[in-house]
Amino acid sequence: KAGVTQTPRYLIKTRGQQVTLSCSPISGHRSVSWYQQTPGQGLQFLFEYFSETQRNKGNFPGRFSGRQFSNSRSEMNVSTLELGDSALYLCASSLVGHRAQYFGPGTRLTVL
């Protein structure tokens, strides 16, 4: 079974731009979560989707948004990028929300 895939793997943007990251979950998994990992803040929850519905959102500004499609694939968008948005963005999928979450390889975003 293919694992969680994320595209792109690396991204370089400048301040003020926007970015869209994509996540394809493991086949059959309907829950997709997003996390931001930085050296200073560690791993922080962004949001979780199940059957195209956002069930929870972390403490991030409204510039961070996401969605999930009917095939369970998910995208997250960050608008008006700031230097502090530079991070590894990880996507995880699971069969249902509280079971084992399987992480993708991540997207390394650098904001210049």
Partner 1 sequence: ELKVEQNPLFLSMQEGKNYTIYCNYSTTSDRLYWYRQDPGKSLESLFVLLSNGAVKQEGRLMASLDTKARLSTLHITAAVHDLSATYFCAFMSNDYKLSFGAGTTVTVRA
Give the residues lining the site for partner 1 (CB under 8 A).
31, 33, 35, 42-45, 48, 50, 55-56, 58, 90, 92, 97-106
Least distance in angstroms from the C-beta of 80 to partner 1: 25
SS3 84: helix
d(CA 103, CA 93): 7
Least distance in angstroms from the C-beta of 16 to partner 1: 28
Least distance in angstroms from the C-beta of 6 to partner 1: 9
Tell me whether residue 81 or residue 93 sits nearer to partner 1 (CB atom).
93
Tell me whether residue 106 or residue 111 sits nearer to partner 1 (CB atom).
106
First to last CA, the chain: 37
Torsion of CA 39, 43, 47, 52, to 10 degrees: 110
How are the residues of the chain apportioned to helix, strand and coil, as percentages rounded to the nearest 5? 5, 55, 45
Tell me whether residue 8 or residue 16 sits nearer to partner 1 (CB atom).
8
Tell me whether residue 14 or residue 57 sits nearer to partner 1 (CB atom).
57
Least distance in angstroms from the C-beta of 72 to partner 1: 15
d(CA 18, CA 20): 7
